[in-house]
């Protein structure tokens, strides 16, 4: 496959309204795209009061009763679109801020957010799966979640692992990610779809307003479409996979020219 149509779906979930949030998100998945990315914690909402509350809303991959996972699988199967989405994940007694990649054939890839943001540190366990990359929709897809954008090592690890596309479910609060992702894409020659949410949650005495601007960025760092900071919608971009070639100039290859012996790791 030489090109790939990717969608970043921007939603406005209501905390705890899992069924309505899943309905609204899946209704926005546009027909005919190869990969659609939904926001971080898209089914539950973001601002948990405690780890116990997060556990009570969490789902476990492989559990046939896991509601949002079942709906994602059915949508992928029925539409032929691979879906990436943020998941409040329970594994035994531990809760992770995770992302799943669900293919039309039922395959599920899992990533657990490595760089937890602010109060997430009191709710979730830090990710322990590294930065895995999955064959999907005719390419290789890597997952990272929201604040991982601020750590170039995350996108670099995915690219070094062979990802041509980064699916980036997000619940962004700070303004810098959309511009920064242009550089993450260019320096790794990967495409990225950042799917953010909008709306406000105030459940712990601190109001959080999520800033939208969901986007699809090409491997050359071009913003193919970026949404506004309010309102739901879908950003769509057609990715030329030939642009993921690492040759930057005739004498510079972004990966072969790396000098890990000179880096402070
Ligand atoms: C974030 O990582 N949800 C800001």
**Per-residue pLDDT tens over the stretch 158-203:** 999 999 999 999 999 999 999 999 999 999 999 999 999 999 999 9
The reported pLDDT for the residue numbered 1 is 66
> Active-site residue among 75, 146, 177, 185?
146
Mutate which of 38, 113, 117 for ligand 1 pocket (most atoms within 8 A of beta carbon): 117
pLDDT at 34 over 70: yes
Residue nearest to atom 4 of ligand 1 (CA): 172
Ligand 1 atom showing the smallest separation from residue 173 Cα: 4
Question: pLDDT category, 8, cuts 50, 70, 90?
Answer: very high
Atom of ligand 1 nearest to the CA of 174: 4
Active-site choice (33, 40, 75, 177): 40
Name the CATH code of domain 3-262 (choices 3.60.110.10, 3.30.70.360, 2.30.29.30, 3.40.50.300): 3.60.110.10
What was the pLDDT predicted at 265? 82
pLDDT at 53: 98
- Digit-coded pLDDT (tens) for 95-136: 999 999 999 999 889 999 999 999 999 999 999 999 999 999
Could you confirm whether 222 is annotated as catalytic?
Answer: no
Ligand 1 surroundings by CB, under 6 angstroms: 40, 117, 146-147, 171-173
**Distance in Å, CA 171 to ligand 1 centroid:** 5
Name the residue with the closest Cα to ligand 1, atom 2. Answer: 147
Question: Which member of 33, 59, 113, 137 is catalytic?
Answer: 113
Mean pLDDT along residues 141-168: 98
Provide the percentage of residues in the chain whose pLDDT is more than 90.
Answer: 98
146 pLDDT exceeds 90?
yes
What does the pLDDT average to over 32-54? 98
Please tell me the distance from the alpha carbon of residue 249 to that of residue 254, in angstroms, as a whole number.
9
Q: Are strands 198-201 and 3-10 parallel, antiparallel or unpaired?
A: unpaired
H runs (alpha helix) in the chain: 18-27, 51-57, 67-79, 120-123, 152-160, 177-188
**137 in catalytic set:** no
What share of the chain in percent tops pLDDT 70? 100
Q: Taking all residues of the chain, what is their mean pLDDT, rounded to a whole number? A: 98
Determine the Cα–Cα distance for residues 182 and 26; give it in Å rounded to an integer: 27
40 tagged catalytic: yes
Q: How confident is the model at residue 42 (pLDDT cuts 50, 70, 90)?
A: very high
Q: Looking at residue 95, what is its pLDDT? A: 98
E-only strand ranges, 115-206 = 133-136, 139-143, 165-169, 191-195, 198-201
CA 76, CA 247: separation in Å to the nearest integer?
34
* Cα 42 to middle of ligand 1, angstroms: 13
Q: What are the boundaries of each domain within the chain? A: 3-262
């Amino acid at each position: 496959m030489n090109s790939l149509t990717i969608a970043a779906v921007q939603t406005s979930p209501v905390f705890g309204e899992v069924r309505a949030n899943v309905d609204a998100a899946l209704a926005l998945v546009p027909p005919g795209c190869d990969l659609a990315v939904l926001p971080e914690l898209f089914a539950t909402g973001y601002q948990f009061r405690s780890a116990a509350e997060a556990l009570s809303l969490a789902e476990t991959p492989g559990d046939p009763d896991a509601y949002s996972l079942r709906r994602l699988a059915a949508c992928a199967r029925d539409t032929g679109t691979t879906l990436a989405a943020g998941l409040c994940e329970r594994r035994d007694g531990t809760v992770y801020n995770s992302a799943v990649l669900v293919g039309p054939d039922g395959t599920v890839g899992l990533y657990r957010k490595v760089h937890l943001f602010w109060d997430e540190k009191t709710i979730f366990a830090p990710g322990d799966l590294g930065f895995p990359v999955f064959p999907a929709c005719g390419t290789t897809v890597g997952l990272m979640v929201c604040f991982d954008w601020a750590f170039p090592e995350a996108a670099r690890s995915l690219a070094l692992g062979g990802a041509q596309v980064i699916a980036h479910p997000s619940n962004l609060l700070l303004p810098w990610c959309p511009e920064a992702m242009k550089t993450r894409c260019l320096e790794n020659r990967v495409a990225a779809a950042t799917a953010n949410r909008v709306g406000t949650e105030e459940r712990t005495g601190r109001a959080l307003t999520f800033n939208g601007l969901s986007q699809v960025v090409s491997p050359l760092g071009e913003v193919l479409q970026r949404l506004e900071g309010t309102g739901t919608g879908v950003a769509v971009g057609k990715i030329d996979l030939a642009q993921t070639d690492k040759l930057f100039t005739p004498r510079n290859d972004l990966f072969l020219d790396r000098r890990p012996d000179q880096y402070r790791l």
